[in-house]
Amino acid sequence: MKHQYTREYALQLDEQDPLAQYRHEFYINKSTIYLDGNSLGLLSKRAEATIQEIIDAWKTYGIDGWTEGANPWFYLSEKLGEQMAPLVGATPAEVIVTGSTTVNLHQLLSTFYRPTEKKAKILADELNFPSDIYAIKSQLNMRGLDPEKYLVQVKSEDGYRLEEDDIIAKMTEDISLIVLPSVLYRSGQILNMKRITEEAHKRNILVAFDLCHSIGSIPPELSKWDVDFAFWCNYKHLNGGPGATGGMFVNQRHFGNHPGLAGWFGSRKDKQFDMDHEMSVDNAIGAFQIGTPNILSMAPLVGALSMFNEVGMTHIRNKSLQLTSYFMDLIRHELKNEGFALRNPLDDTRAGHILLQHKEAARICKALKVEGVIPDYRSPDGIRLAPVALYNTFEDVWNTVQILKTIMEEKKYKKYDNKRGVVA
């Protein structure tokens, strides 16, 4: 079926795409193919508009912007949490937009990691993003616990994937809490959060998931699966902008706990301005806020989330799988003799990107950028390519593979050093 490897076939897929209209919602640089939305999503026109709305509220209302205007700032964290809840399969009371990935993990560990003589260890994995591991080690050190002894990390056999049986085997009686990614940031492997949670709870272990590479890409069911906690950033698939305020989920059965890191925005709204030195802790997810919300960093999410609520995660997930499947088919056909290996899951347990392994990965990424394709290099030899459902096309995928084929055939990558830049 040679036809499926032609540009015409890609254009036909784009004509049939029910989400095609949303590409026009984003600022697309016509001279590039942007495939790094799993690191930083593109700016949408709706996000730009809501940034301006928040600025106009500041301009118009001054201090009264906290309670006046279309999006009063005092309630914005909770309002955005309500909009985000359907994306993670949670009730509105269980989700809030606050902090950042690492700050929110620190809050969860400070609140819910309660080591005892018999259950004091934290279980993580060796493939997780470094910031999560730094936070866990920091929390252990603050309690006078040696990370070498009290942090247990599940090993990977190939450096790209985790076996869920290996995770479960590490759930020994001395494990108090588990911190795992929902999606491995290099390979895009989706972990079975439902199974892991069930097995952990059988052993009286709490579970927290890092959703940074899944939110806006795959549709979990956190409440239904009885996940304890989750935390994430909002600048990748959700297109919230660089440094966008993060998000947090706490299962409602944990409400009523006093936050480990307390601040005045964790107070009940009706009591916060009583200025009492005895905190009236909010009896919902709001309790785990710390300080004043970063309103200007939350503003883009007001517009960005509206598209996700219109489209629904099922449609986004379906197109994402189609894009990555098409990508892999083209790579196998066009680049089979160029030394590439696909290291992402080949079935539907992959998230929103593919991972190409090549010994010349860093210099290939540099060549791709010069040729107008924006990839993402991951040390030591990985090229991540993320076609995003809301703004990438099947033609983008076809063009990328043709450009990559030319780079390899003409050895264009040899012009560059095989080492990463300061920011990879």
Residue list for the binding site: 101-102, 129-132, 210, 213, 235, 264, 292
- Mapped onto helix, strand or coil, the DSSP state of residue 105 is helix
If one counts every other C-beta atom within 10 angstroms of the C-beta of residue 64, the result is: 12
Closest CA to 86 of 193, 208, 219, 245: 219
Query: Would you list which residues are annotated within the binding site for pyridoxal 5'-phosphate?
Result: 101-102, 129-132, 210, 213, 235, 264, 292
CB 260 within 8 A of CB 107: yes
For residue 59, which phi and psi values (nearest 5 degrees)? -65, -40
Closest CA to 40 of 242, 247, 185, 300: 242
Cα 320 to Cα 389: distance, rounded to the nearest angstrom? 5
Cα 419 to Cα 411: distance, rounded to the nearest angstrom? 17
Closest CA to 417 of 371, 360, 370: 360
DSSP string for residues in 20-71? GGGGGGB---TT-EE-BTTTSPPPBHHHHHHHHHHHHHHHHHGGGGGTSSSS
Burial class (CB in 10 A: 0-12, 13-18, 19+), 165: exposed
H or E stretch at 242: none
**In angstroms, how far apart are the furthest CA atoms of the chain?**
73
For residue 235, which phi and psi values (nearest 5 degrees)? -105, 0
CB 200 within 8 A of CB 225: no
Task: Sort strands 373-374 and 33-34 into parallel, antiparallel or unpaired.
Answer: parallel
Closest CA to 268 of 292, 287, 285: 287
For residue 283, which phi and psi values (nearest 5 degrees)? -95, 45
Task: Quote the crossing angle between the two packed helices 394-409 and 361-370, to the nearest 10°.
Answer: 120
Which pairs count as long-range contacts for 377-383, CB under 8 Å and 24+ apart, including other chains? 377/420, 377/424, 378/185, 378/186, 378/424, 379/420, 379/424, 381/357, 382/186, 382/343, 382/355, 382/356, 382/357, 383/355, 383/356, 383/357, 383/358
